[in-house]
Amino acid sequence: MELFDVTIIGGGPAGLYSAFYSGMRNMKTKIIEVQPILGGKVNIYPEKILWDVGGLPPIQAQHFVQNLINQAKTFSPTICLNTKVEQITKQGEIFVISTDSGEIHYSKTIIVAVGGGILNPIKLEVEGADKYAMSNLHYTILGLKRFQNKRVLVSGGGNGAIDWAVELLPVAKEVTVIYRGEQLSAHESQVEKLKQHDVNIMLNAEIQSLLSNRNQTRIAQVVISQNGNSLLLPVDDVLVCHGYQREMSLSFADEIKPNVKDDYYLVSHGQCRTSVPGVFAAGDIIYYEDKVNLLAGAFQDAVLAVNSAKLYIDPKAEKYAMVSSHNEKFLEKNKDLVQKCDLQCLT
């Protein structure tokens, strides 16, 4: 039985930054992530360019994730991938974490950083849709190049759909957006960009059926119903962004069930503490007034959760971590960086 100071459930931005910060506070740290890769939701928009992370120039999400992973590994936390946490119980002072592989993990504290849970895209409910999932029916975009000069139909009117439609504008030959509602619900400025580019936006419209090519391997045309009429649209690719179904796999034993909001979010009782002593939360999973569901918000939560975990284990510890320039391990690492002239981040 190897006992950890902190076990972080979820290896998205909140979990990764928690791991870094936990190392800075000299705690023995483990991350458990259900997916085969770290990075969380950011992996569903790898080519998106992020402009809104403090101190970073515009950066593609996939590079941002890699930086985040490298940073999380600074203090060599234990990382368990492909491992779904199923249940958390408590034996005396120790949390016992059961996983789908049958492995049991032991920890003095827990930081829950499971974001929106395990996300599965809501599938297109049209007969035969599944058979195109390997060819030209998509639920996210893993690389924009593939859509070069293509006629792309985007189904959906929320941020996911409209963000992708905007990203496709300089790449695709033609972008059509269909949405069953009366008005697109995405961010105004993004909708404006679509309108400026004369994108064909069809409201009160939805996919009725898919017509295949002669070999039955790809979608060649889409039958769209709009206001009671049926229209035929030739396409090269169809992108469906109808949101995600959330699988909250994680459960707590009755005696350590944290307070939740809307049957899901862990309610913060200040400093990212849940109602259960020793259980903390960070990122999209936590609820408090003024919570910001952005990367910047996840980082702030991580700092608070880690500091709270540190004080839970050692009530006499400093309330906050020292700034990084005061950390002894960094003094050594800084010498290496200077020697290697790897001063990118210092210039």
Ligand X SMILES: Cc1cc2nc3c(=O)[nH]c(=O)nc-3n(C[C@H](O)[C@H](O)[C@H](O)COP(=O)(O)OP(=O)(O)OC[C@H]3O[C@@H](n4cnc5c(N)ncnc54)[C@H](O)[C@@H]3O)c2cc1C
Interface ranges with ligand X (CB under 6 A)? 9-15, 32-35, 40-42, 45, 50, 52, 84-85, 113-118, 160, 163, 249-250, 283-285, 293-296, 298
What pairs with residue 155 in β-bridges?
178, 240
* 325 annotated to a ligand binding site: yes
Q: Which of 136, 195, 133, 143 is nearest to 164 (CA)?
A: 143
Q: Dihedral sign, CA of 146, 148, 149, 153?
A: positive
Strand partners, 254: none
Q: Please, which residue, 80 or 211, has the CB nearer to ligand X? A: 80
Q: To the nearest whole angstrom, how small is the minimum distance from the Cβ of residue 247 to ligand X?
A: 8
Q: Confirm whether residue 244 is marked as ligand binding.
A: no
Q: Is 33 annotated as a binding residue?
A: yes
Measured from the CB of residue 234, what is the shortest distance to ligand X in angstroms? 28
Strand partners, 287: 267
Rounded least distance, CB 292 to ligand X, Å: 8
Minimum distance between the CB of residue 88 and ligand X, rounded to whole angstroms? 10
Residue type (1 letter), 22: S
45 labeled part of a ligand binding site: yes
Selection from 282, 249, 275 nearest residue 115 by Cα: 282
85 is in an annotated binding site: yes
- Give the shortest CB-317-to-ligand X separation in angstroms: 25
Instruction: Output 307 or 327, the one with its CB closest to ligand X.
Output: 307
Report how far residue 75's alpha carbon sits from residue 95's, in angstroms, rounded to the nearest whole number. Answer: 23
Identify whether the C-beta of residue 14 lies closer than 8 Å to the C-beta of residue 113. Answer: yes
Packed helices 13-24 and 295-313: angle between N→C axes, nearest 10 degrees: 40
Choice between 90 and 131, CB closer to ligand X? 90
Which one, 98 or 209, has the nearer CB to ligand X?
98
Q: Is 212 annotated among the ligand-binding residues? A: no
User: Which residues, in sequence order, are CB contacts of 127 under 8 Å at separation 6+?
Assistant: 209
Q: Please say which residue, 163 or 237, places its beta carbon nearer to ligand X.
A: 163
Binding residues for FAD are 33, 41, 45, 85, 119, 284, 325
Binding residues are 33, 41, 45, 85, 119, 284, 325
